[in-house]
A and B are shown apart, each in its own frame.
Chain A
Amino acid sequence: MITGQVIAGDEAVIDPSRPFMELSGVSRVYGSGAAEVWALRDVDLRIMPGDFVSIVGPSGSGKSTMLGLLGCLDVPTQGTIVVDGEEVTRLADAARTRVRGRSIGFVFQQFHLIPHLDALSNVETALLYRAMKPAERREKAMGSLEKVGLARRHDHRPVQLSGGEQQRVALARALVTDPKILLADEPTGALDTKNAANVMEILTSLQSMERAVVIVTHDVGIANSAARKVSMLDGRIVSDESLR
């Protein structure tokens, strides 16, 4: 007789005390010699399960560099980054790319949908090269579009969608892989107030113990709508406060 924990489906059990992502002593230096620029200097940061955190700072504060590192798109000059138990700073490019595809979902200010693909195919792009049957992939992508309320417009190409709709497709694409961390870069920067509110509403609704939402922004209003606010200045974290 098996006793103990029952695991429902293939959902892994989340340990709320174990960070999804941990940056320790991370510095990022561009250039060398006299042209050396320290974009980040000795930063420590933990992204915990259920976090809804904004990273805010003026331009030049290092938040773009931070985004690149959080998204495993870049590696630090010093320090270590552990994503979901894996030390990505030790991984080769291909392995790091796989960690990125598995654990991180991206939303960008400019949406970055692939122009020649319709909404559904754009969402499906995140599920390519994962040994998945086309029908299964299609179903998952459709489900994800449903979550952002765009299932009806699945066959529209980006040019046929409004900015708000495009950003929602991008959200569906980011969510379809079920990432631990949803990384949003100025997600409302290119949207009008109404659409911005709508996207923020969806982002807020995504908060759960299985996921962490990280928004990188220079908009203080957006930053203050998060549960936790990390403020940056000159490549350092100057404050890390809980807002609720």
Chain B
Amino acid sequence: MNSTLRDLLRVATTGLLARKVRTLLLLLGPMIGVAAIIAAVGLTDSAKGDLKAKVDKLGTNLIEASAASSFGGQDPTLPIDAAERALTVSTITKVSTIRELQNIIVTPYDEARENFETVPIPVLAADSRLPEVLEVSLVSGRWINGFDEDGRARSAVIGVGLADEFDYLPGELRTIELNGLRYAVVGVLDRVELEPGFDNAVFIPFTAAADDFLDLGVGDDIDPNKLYARSVEGTEDESATALKVAVNLGGPQDISTEIKSEALELAAQSDRQLQLIVVSMGLLAIIVGGLGIANVMSISVIQRSAEIGIRRALGHTRRIIALQFLLEAVFVGIVGGLLGVLLGMLSIFVGVSIAGWVFVMASWLAPGGILLAIVISVLAGLYPAVRAARLEPLETLRLG
């Protein structure tokens, strides 16, 4: 290390440590200011902490595109190759298609038909990629795979809510009836936070849907009417727009898109106005703290004028004297900032524990708080430092 800097550090630290009460008073300003700002931002964020955590977990990049008929026609669909078309958008990484089927009565077994007729249970034809795109796992069993498709098997995956309703035990070998046709339950899909309707749905392969529920020629494929896509994080809006164009390719259909996490994100937003008010108060506190530093250090310069005089006589330049005082201010900023961060975190923690929130502290808060404390302290120390450097040794030493 540069020896001048090392000597300066030594003089500044011993100077601060020699006057502990004064140093403590200096620390209070930046400490309280930083703590107030951190507590303000942290507590207002933590109030929505559970929702924020949910958004973080689910991701904000799930886009839904569904067919909507501009003529008010019945049961509009997407092109058969909608998934391939969607993947031509460079920011789209994963796509899965589904077809919502109409008027299917789902019952656990034939005799229970009367009980379940009145409860509409959605039945969806889905491809093998759906859990991967939704980022949801299976509670038990497996998802629909290529064998189900190729073998035109009557396999079904049910949502976790429906499994509950039907008293389905994990791993149990059982069938359910779709319009009286028996489908084997091969798996249970876990809760889908971004699409709550899926919790009570039945998922079957496209081929089985074509065979059993749609009036199509033998061997015809069925068109999807909805797709789910994941985009690169941060490109949701552009991807959604591009998706519409890519899927439709000027076709007759109208396609509407929706970013699934938007509502959740909106709900998770902190109360900005409240945050602004409390942060302003914190800023005010730190500015007052800065004025306190300027005040206490100015008095200190007067008290230490003899020390400054003798240092000047011993060959310390004005620049060295100014730097010595400035460095004391930097230390006050660093230590005050650090203590402020700790105190702020403690306040958030206590508040969160009392209110039962989830602890949230933005990653920029700690470094930002310390930086602010240093900047304020240095600005406050500038005037006393210059005053100290301007002292004339001849006057302060009161030569006889």
A positions within 8 Å CB-CB of B: 64, 67-68, 71, 73-74, 93-94, 97-98, 100-102, 106, 108-110, 112-117, 121, 125-126, 128-134, 173, 177, 185-186, 189
Contact = CB atoms under 8 A, between A and B. Distances in A.
B19 interface: yes
B393 interface: yes
A73 B316 CA distance: 12
Interface string B285-324: 0000000000000000000001101111111111110000
A177 B315 CA distance: 10
A94 B317 contact: yes
B3 A114 contact: no
Interface in B355-400: 392-394, 397-400
B11 A128 contact: yes
Contacts of B316: 97, 101, 128-129
B14 interface: yes
A146 B350 CA distance: 58
Contacts of A133: 3
A224 B396 CA distance: 29
Contacts of A109: 400
B15 interface: yes
B397 A131 contact: no
B3 A132 contact: yes
A216 to B, nearest CB: 8
5 contacts: A68-B394, A102-B315, A112-B309, A116-B14, A129-B4
Interface string B3-31: 11011101100110011000000000000
Given A97-B317, A100-B315, A112 B15 contact: no
Given A121-B14, A185-B400, A71 B7 contact: no
Nearest to A105: B314
Residues of B in contact with A, size category: 20 to 34
A83 to B, nearest CB: 13
Interface of B: 3-4, 6-8, 10-11, 14-15, 18-19, 306-307, 309-320, 392-394, 397-400
Residue picked from A64, A117, A125, A132, most chain B C-beta under 10 Å: A125
Given A97-B316, A125-B311, 20 more contacts: A73-B312, A73-B394, A73-B397, A100-B315, A101-B315, A106-B314, A108-B310, A108-B399, A110-B306, A114-B310, A114-B311, A125-B314, A126-B315, A128-B7, A128-B11, A128-B314, A129-B4, A129-B315, A185-B400, A189-B400
Contacts of B312: 73, 97
B7 A117 contact: no
Nearest to B399: A64
Given A68-B394, A129-B4, A112 B318 contact: no
A110 B397 CA distance: 9
Closest 8 CB pairs of A and B: A101-B315, A116-B18, A112-B310, A128-B7, A131-B3, A73-B394, A126-B314, A94-B317
Contact of A185 (B6, B15, B399): B399
